[in-house]
Amino acid sequence: MNGRGRRGLPRTPGIAAPADRRFRRAHWPLDRRRRLARLARRLLRWGLPALVVAGLLAWGGSALAGADALRVKAVLVRGHERLPADQVQALVEGLRGESIFHLDLDAYGRRVLASPWVADVALFRVLPATVEIHVVERTPMALARLDQRLYVVDDAGVVIDEYGTAHRDLDLPIVDGLIAPTPRGDRPLVDPERLELTAALIAAFEQEPGMVQRLSHVDVSNARDARVLFDGDPAWLHLGRDAFAARTRRYFELRDTLQDRFDGIDYVDLRFDERIYLHGRAAAAGGTD
């Protein structure tokens, strides 16, 4: 026999023909297509409805934000005392009628801060159609005098307003030398060094019962020597740059004695702790211990 069987095939069993790996490649694209098909079905099943819902929500939110019921109809001002509410509302002109959700509260807040009376401000939305403006007003410290005009000034050196009939209830000392005119005639400028001296003096007097209430005039024209005048007392007191309350107390303790010994005292210099110097209108007087 020649080793070949029927149809000419080899008789030797157990010899495998080499596998051709190229035949397996046809299965990968098929599997990939199936996975993509399953993914597409899931997207159609869940993704498309989600997109539709999101679109409806966005459209509904936009429509809701623009609804007439949510347009600002009321503007309420809180925390004001000196600054009239209508002046604050005038500063935010245009706010009424805007969608309460589309308001630029920071921009409107900056408008309110433009008022010299306002130290701080916060704006709040109150649904459905109200905006509340909470203002913190500046606290007047003194009436700064320049020529024949008086200006309301706070302890930060802000010239709040020119003194007028609306401020007659302010019980504040008049301060000379604190402010200076500007070249163009704008709002006067406060001298920083003299402001510091004035604020320190008033703060010291506020710690003494009844002292700041009796303070009538302050002169800081000399930034190294604060001069003060009290109600019912004709003498100017030179207090220097510190120990304001202690030096003033010493004067009041000695005032009756000084008035008995000297006629018509113009000023008393208290800057020297060991001695007091004074000057009378009629004639100069020597120093006294």
Q: Give the model's pLDDT for residue 54.
A: 53
Residue 241 burial (C-beta neighbours within 10 Å; 0-12, 13-18, 19+): middle
Q: Is 109 helix (H, G, I), strand (E, B) or coil?
A: helix
Among 1-5, 34-38, 121-125, 144-148, the minimum mean pLDDT is found in: 1-5
Q: Which residues of 185-220 are buried (b: 16+ CB within 10 A; e: fewer)?
A: eeebebbeebbebbbebbebbeeeeebbebbebbbb
Q: Give the model's pLDDT for residue 273.
A: 76
Q: Give the model's pLDDT for residue 51.
A: 53
d(C-alpha 120, C-alpha 138), whole Å: 9
Residue 19 burial (C-beta neighbours within 10 Å; 0-12, 13-18, 19+): exposed
| Residue 82 near residue 138 (C-beta atoms within 8 A) | no
Task: Give the residue extent of every domain in the chain.
Answer: 68-137, 140-280
Q: For residue range 222-270, list pLDDT tens digits in order.
A: 999 999 999 999 999 999 999 999 999 999 999 998 888 888 899 999 9
Q: Give the model's pLDDT for residue 37.
A: 65
Residue 38 burial (C-beta neighbours within 10 Å; 0-12, 13-18, 19+): exposed
Which two three-digit tokens encode residue 161? 């307003």
d(C-alpha 193, C-alpha 191), whole Å: 6
pLDDT at 32 over 50: yes
For the beta carbon of residue 265, count every other beta carbon within 10 angstroms.
Answer: 19
Q: Give the model's pLDDT for residue 246.
A: 95
Domain 140-280 of CATH type 1.10.8.60: no
Provide the residue type at 237 as one letter. Answer: L
The strand pairing partners of 261, in sequence order, are none
pTM of the model: 0.70
| Residue 172 near residue 138 (C-beta atoms within 8 A) | no
Confidence grade of residue 26 (pLDDT, cut at 50, 70, 90): very low
d(C-alpha 279, C-alpha 243), whole Å: 22
Considering the domain 68-137 in this protein, what is its CATH number?
A: 3.10.20.310
Q: Give the model's pLDDT for residue 47.
A: 57
Length of the chain: 289
Q: For residue range 171-207, list pLDDT tens digits in order.
A: 999 999 999 887 776 778 999 999 999 999 999 999 9
